[in-house]
Amino acid sequence: MENQKQDEPLPFQPFWNDTPIKTYLFDAFSVLLPAGEQFVISVVESAASQLQQTSTLAAESRRFVAEERAHQRAHRLYNQQLEKQGFEVRKYEISIEKDLGHAQSKLSLNAQLALAAAFEHVTAVISGIALRQGGLLSEGESSQTRLWRWHCREEVAHQHVTTDLLQALGIPYWQRMFWFMVASALLAFDVLRHVHGFARFDIRRGRVSGAQVRRAAARLLLRDGVNLGLLIAGWIGYCLPLRSGATANCQ
């Protein structure tokens, strides 16, 4: 994304992710990330403080936090560019910050960790689908695709950290499943809200027509059965029992 004077709107660019709806989808996820990453970082730091600090999981947790902070910085810049294009990104970010701040003030650490692990699982599943050939992410070269490939690779690689922390802290299965359902509903609601807002704004200013958006959405849902199947399988996969071995990291 090119830098311009702050008061000068960015010119319309071709949709970087091949279609309007796929571009809106990833832009919508980016809106969630600065506040979402901060929530996960805070929870992982608190949970990891209960581990033996020389353990493998404690070291992996520190590396996880460093990677998440890098993602957070990158997506703050990404979202600033969306804001410069006219999208009301900051309004959405403030709403997400308030919701997650409320969750942190009201929920126990165990509940927060279960919620964070659920967010990380869904993110990792979507990241894996994005990276596959013919997946959700364009194979074309742009600053956006380069950022998302880097981010998605790291999400897939470090997703196990939060589930290992769940096991190390003895979070029960029912709590894990309850907060997984909550996280799935929250993510779906927010992403769809942002996609809808982006599409309405672009239609209103003439960048795209409503018919183009509907065709792109139908193509994504009806012609992309493999990706949809992988998403459903990955979502169901969270219901499987956790592997054993993480409890030895506890103090």
Please name the residues in contact with 92: beta carbons below 8 A apart, sequence gap of 6 or more.
31, 190, 193, 194, 197
Contacts of 168-173 with CB under 8 Å at 24 or more apart are 168/47, 168/50, 168/51, 168/57, 168/246, 168/247, 168/249, 168/250, 169/47, 169/50, 169/109, 169/110, 169/113, 169/250, 170/247, 171/110, 171/113, 171/114, 173/241
Instruction: Give residue 122's pLDDT.
Output: 97
Give the per-residue pLDDT at 227. 87
* pLDDT on residue 3: 42
Phi and psi torsions of 108, nearest 5°: -70, 165
Tell me, what's the pLDDT at 6? Answer: 39
d(C-alpha 147, C-alpha 151), whole Å: 6
pTM for the model stands at: 0.89
- Spans of all domains in the chain: 20-249
Summarised one tens digit per residue, pLDDT across range 159-203 is 999 999 999 999 999 999 999 999 999 999 999 999 999 999 999
Low-confidence ranges of the chain (pLDDT < 70): 1-13, 244-251
Nearest to 130 by CA among 139, 141, 142: 139
